[in-house]
């Protein structure tokens, strides 16, 4: 088996992969949902730090740019609101 995580000892990696294989699908989906929410929370925190004067609307639009890319975010939500 090739290494999936180069910073993890091969024995530990084998154990982790085996545990993931044994895990029910519903649990894997729940873990993915939790990770997605964590990434979203971190992204919003980063936006708050970089743009502290943004309104909630501006912050949501910046998040859409990060998650969807500026082109798709513009197609879905329209042009980004003016930032000041």
Q: In tens digits, what is the pLDDT along the chain, a chain of 84 residues? A: 568 888 899 999 999 999 999 999 999 999 999 999 999 999 999 999 999 999 999 999 999 999 999 999 999 998 887 755
Q: Distance between CA 19 and CA 21 in Å, rounded?
A: 5
Phi then psi dihedrals of residue 3, to 5 deg:
-75, 125
What pLDDT score was predicted for residue 47? 96
What pLDDT score was predicted for residue 5? 80
For tokens 């000892």, name the residue: 9
What pLDDT score was predicted for residue 6? 86
Q: Distance between CA 11 and CA 23 in Å, rounded?
A: 19
pTM above 0.75, yes or no: no
């Amino acid at each position: 088996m090739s290494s999936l995580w180069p910073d993890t000892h091969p024995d530990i990696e084998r154990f982790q992969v085996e545990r993931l294989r044994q895990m029910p699908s519903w649990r894997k989906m729940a873990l993915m949902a939790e990770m997605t929410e964590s990434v979203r929370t971190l992204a919003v925190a980063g936006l708050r730090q970089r743009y502290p004067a943004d309104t909630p609307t501006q912050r949501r639009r910046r998040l859409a740019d990060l998650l969807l890319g500026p082109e798709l975010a513009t197609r879905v939500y329209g042009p980004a609101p003016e930032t000041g």
